[in-house]
């Protein structure tokens, strides 16, 4: 697996990371814990060194899973986790409230360290911007944790340009994690130019469009009642049917490259900037291997141009989040 640097920082990670959220949260029934531990360890064997989790996934159980899986090879991997919610409210029952008060950030860090079975968090993201706490105070709290040796790098998730710039003055931001893929390209407007200017890495989550860009989901797909996608406007039956044109086009390109639509989607992201590191999630070994294979695929400038030209003709239908969740992004 090739390696990449996240921006101008000294944080080197595998070109493709592993998003672990779905192993215990959001996408239907929770898989067998032992199987997920084996999958995470297999990912390390296959060259992945970058693992993403958060205290709110579960809450707590995803960090515990990642901590147990990676503790035997802790020195070989980079673990990213997130703070910023009141996790005493059970996710799924009620939307957890935002909380990025400095004292809460430090409490969250201590708890995450224990669950992750480590003495330092490699990358500590603010999960969502808290409009009630100045970002300077948030950055200052993480700066304190860095000075104490409990955190190595500061990150933001789904933050807007103004927030990124203000935070970066107080404590350099190593990476921004936000949604970015062939069916959500809004970051290209302002976010990516800002990250390039400031030397900040970009970690796209949902790089496969929450599974849609794999080509394995269509208008007839039925999701489990606990699956987050049931409330996502873009995943209504009608919108899936309309958006099938994107997957069909990816399929044609993939066939030409002897690849899969998922691999083309990931290799397209890797081709955008050398400091972009997508973190596709999966609970299946064959999907993990498929995603890793994308790092070996090189799209030429001509092929990238063909993809962009083809996709300009396709209109993506449906919002990426319900309105209540979308309000928490891009602040």
Contacts of 272 (CB under 8 A, 6+ apart): 192
Q: What angle do CA 70, 76, 77 make, to 5 degrees?
A: 60
180 as an active site residue: the answer is: no
Q: What φ, ψ does residue 72 adopt, rounded to 5°?
A: -70, -20
> Which of the following is catalytic: 27, 57, 125, 180?
57
- Is 79:70 a contact under the CB 8 Å cutoff? yes
- Determine whether 117 is exposed, middle or buried from the number of CB atoms within 10 Å of its CB (0-12, 13-18, 19+): middle
Give the residue from 24, 54, 60, 27 showing the smallest Cα distance to 212.
Answer: 27
Report how far residue 302's alpha carbon sits from residue 203's, in angstroms, rounded to the nearest whole number. Answer: 25
- In b/e form, how buried is each residue of 168-197, taking b as 16+ CB within 10 angstroms? bebbbbbbbbbbbbbbbeebeeebbebbee
Instruction: Please identify every residue annotated as catalytic.
Output: 57
């Amino acid at each position: 697996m090739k390696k990449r640097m996240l921006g101008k920082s000294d944080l080197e990670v595998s070109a493709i990371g592993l998003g672990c959220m779905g192993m215990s949260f959001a996408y239907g029934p929770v898989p067998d814990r032992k199987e997920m531990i084996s999958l995470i360890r297999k990912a390390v064997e296959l060259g992945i060194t970058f693992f993403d989790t958060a205290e709110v996934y579960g809450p707590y159980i995803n960090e515990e899973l990642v901590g147990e899986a990676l503790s035997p090879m802790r020195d070989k991997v980079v673990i990213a986790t997130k703070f910023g919610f009141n996790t005493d409210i059970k996710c799924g029952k009620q939307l957890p409230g935002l909380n990025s008060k400095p004292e809460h950030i430090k409490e969250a860090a201590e708890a995450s360290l224990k669950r992750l079975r480590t003495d330092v968090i490699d990358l500590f993201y603010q999960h969502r911007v808290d409009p009630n706490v100045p970002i300077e105070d948030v950055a200052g709290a993480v700066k304190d944790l860095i000075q104490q040796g409990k955190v190595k790098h500061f990150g933001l998730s789904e933050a807007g340009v103004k927030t990124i710039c203000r935070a970066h003055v107080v404590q350099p931001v190593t990476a921004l994690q936000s949604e970015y893929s062939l069916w959500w390209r809004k970051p290209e407007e302002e976010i990516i130019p800002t990250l390039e200017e400031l030397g900040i890495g970009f970690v796209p989550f949902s790089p496969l469009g929450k599974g849609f860009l794999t080509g394995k989901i269509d208008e007839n797909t039925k999701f489990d009642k606990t699956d987050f996608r049931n409330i996502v406007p873009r995943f209504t039956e009608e919108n899936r049917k309309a958006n099938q044109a994107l997957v069909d086009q990816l399929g044609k390109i993939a066939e030409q490259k002897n690849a899969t639509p998922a691999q083309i989607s990931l290799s397209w992201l890797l081709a955008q900037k050398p400091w972009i590191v997508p973190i596709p999630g999966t609970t299946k070994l064959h999907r993990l291997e498929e995603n890793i294979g994308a790092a070996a695929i090189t799209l030429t400038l001509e092929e990238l141009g063909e993809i962009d030209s083809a996709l300009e003709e396709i209109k993506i239908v449906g919002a990426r989040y319900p309105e209540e969740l979308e309000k928490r992004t891009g602040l």
